[in-house]
Amino acid sequence: MERKYFFDDPKNVKWFLRSFYTSLILLIIIDLFIPKHPYFAYEGFPSFYATFGFVACVLLVLAAKFILRPIVKRREDYYDK
């Protein structure tokens, strides 16, 4: 008999995603009411650090794909010699 895991059931996946998105929305709403003491003006925007982190992550992935990959990539027959 094959073992069934938590994410094998689509109902569990839906429950997990709903709870994840609900907690995300709650955190964004809570962030609106927390007083901030920003050093720079743009740090006071709602969800600034989440947006900054997401953009930085996307830029790192793009840099790795288009800048670093051509530098370290080898030919397909590199080990065939």
pLDDT per residue as tens digits for the range 28-74: 899 889 898 999 999 988 889 989 999 999 999 999 999 999 999 98
3-class DSSP assignment, residue 11? helix
Rounded to whole angstroms, how far apart are CA atoms 24 and 68? 33
| pLDDT band at residue 76 under the 50/70/90 scheme | confident
Residue spans per domain, the chain: 7-36, 48-74
Which two three-digit tokens encode residue 46? 């709602």
- Cβ atoms 40, 21 nearer than 8 A: no
The pTM score is: 0.65
Give the pLDDT confidence score for residue 75 in this predicted structure.
86
Give the pLDDT confidence score for residue 46 in this predicted structure.
85
User: DSSP for 48-81?
Assistant: HHHHHHHHHHHHHHHHIIIIIHHHH---TTTT--
Q: Which residue has the higher pLDDT, 13 or 31?
A: 13
